Amino acid sequence: MLAGAIAGPSMLLTGPKTQHTSLAIYIFMRAAVLAARCGIKSKRLGKICKPLTWKHGDTFLMCLSSSQILSAYILKQDSLPSSYKSFLNKHGGKDLVILQGIKDIASGMPFTNLLEVEKYYKSVGVDIKLDPNMKVPCSIVHGNQSCTGHVLSFLFQAYGRALPVYVPVYLIPALIVHRQGLLKRPYTILGKSLLGTARSSLFLSAYCASAWAWTCLLFRLLERCNIPMVAMGTFLTGLALLIEKKSRRIEISLYCLARAIESFFTCMADAGLCPQASKLKRSDVLVFSLATSIIMHCYAQERDVFRSKYLNVLDWVFGIPPPCDSNELEKCQC
């Protein structure tokens, strides 16, 4: 544990003024998962940690993360890291003038850019006149399309945007990691890669489409739009994670949870409810040190809480040879 804590300040090698808050939080989330698995094994903490064994806990985490991330995408993009903000703007599929219109009505503020929204739709061949007294922003979100028609057309467009994201995620490991097996079982390995690409692309496209579907549904049912309703609609968006393979769900939910935590505390700081991250000098190093100490403790004392692929990577990093099987062990002893 001490060795892990000492290793944490290595983050300073990237530069004394370069903060890596997102990375530190993500590694801490990974460490928290390992700590939770240790707690589940413990006789003293087993009952307390039992709720963490919930089958769909990863999906619930994704729903919580989605509520914060997608609400921030619509209402406060400044709370998101710039690279992640660009990713959301690309796959969210909406121009910034549309997002501003939704933000105005959700915040209860007078519209500031209805003319710009109308000009945007005119530039894409849609002639529409927006009502400044509207109660729900559906016409801002999808012009003169119906809510259902918009979701279906958006889903197909989003799938086209998602495919280039996942093709390298699945095909590069197939070509590098499984290169020997690729010569022996090319159809099996490539088939699995293509299936994984199609499935993950469907997840991302359904995730983005359902964000607009759930919010539109709530707006229409309750005939109003406000910040709590945006948060509720985007919470349900996390259910799209059920499309993904079970083994990938926790990876995606932890990544999104780290982004959501960073965004949440940025919003809290801007509201004056907690200190600005910039005032907490190198808090990322402190969080990273705590995370690495937990990870190294588990690596040394509780190796069975790691998934085999992560344990193999750590063994390779630290130069520990893989264990011999029973036959090889007998040969070694002879």
Least confident of 67-71, 82-86, 284-288: 284-288
Q: How far apart are CA 90 and CA 96, in angstroms?
A: 11
What pLDDT is attached to residue 186? 75
The token duo for 331 is: 């040969």
At 145-204, the pLDDT tens digits run 999 999 999 999 999 999 999 988 888 877 776 666 766 777 887 888 899 999 999 999
Tell me the percentage of the chain whose pLDDT exceeds 90: 36
Q: How far apart are CA 238 and CA 59, in angstroms?
A: 7
Query: Could you tell me the CA-to-CA distances from 144 to 59, 95, 134, 140, 147 in Å, in that order?
Result: 34, 16, 14, 9, 9
Indicate the pLDDT class of residue 21, thresholds 50, 70 and 90: confident
Q: Where are the alpha helices (DSSP H) in the chain?
A: 2-7, 21-41, 46-49, 57-75, 82-92, 96-106, 114-123, 138-142, 147-176, 179-184, 186-222, 227-237, 246-270, 283-301, 308-317, 326-333
What pLDDT is attached to residue 71? 94
Tell me the percentage of the chain whose pLDDT exceeds 70: 83
CB 74 within 8 A of CB 208: no
Least confident of 133-142, 146-155, 285-294: 285-294
CB 38 within 8 A of CB 298: yes
Indicate the pLDDT class of residue 334, thresholds 50, 70 and 90: very low
pTM for this prediction: 0.82
CB 302 within 8 A of CB 34: yes
Give which of 166, 188, 185, 175 is closest to 244, Cα–Cα.
166
What pLDDT is attached to residue 304? 80
Mention every residue, 6+ apart, whose C-beta is less than 8 A from residue 207. 66, 237, 240, 241
The token duo for 174 is: 């197939």
At 94-118, the pLDDT tens digits run 999 999 999 999 988 888 888 999 9
CB 162 within 8 A of CB 204: yes
What pLDDT is attached to residue 332? 45
What pLDDT is attached to residue 329? 43
Least confident of 81-85, 167-171, 313-317: 313-317
Per-residue pLDDT at 326 exceeds 60: no
Q: How far apart are CA 14 and CA 301, in angstroms?
A: 30
Q: What residue segments make up the domains of the chain, in order of their start?
A: 1-53+282-334
Burial (CB < 10 A; 0-12, 13-18, 19+), residue 145, is middle
What pLDDT is attached to residue 34? 82
Helix (H, G, I), strand (E, B) or coil at 132: coil
Look at the block and give the residue holding tokens 């190294």.
Answer: 296
Give which of 21, 28, 46 is closest to 293, Cα–Cα.
28
**Residue 94 main-chain phi, psi, to 5 deg:** -125, 140
What pLDDT is attached to residue 289? 85
Per-residue pLDDT at 230 exceeds 90: yes
Least confident of 8-12, 83-87, 96-100, 188-192: 8-12
Mention every residue, 6+ apart, whose C-beta is less than 8 A from residue 83. none
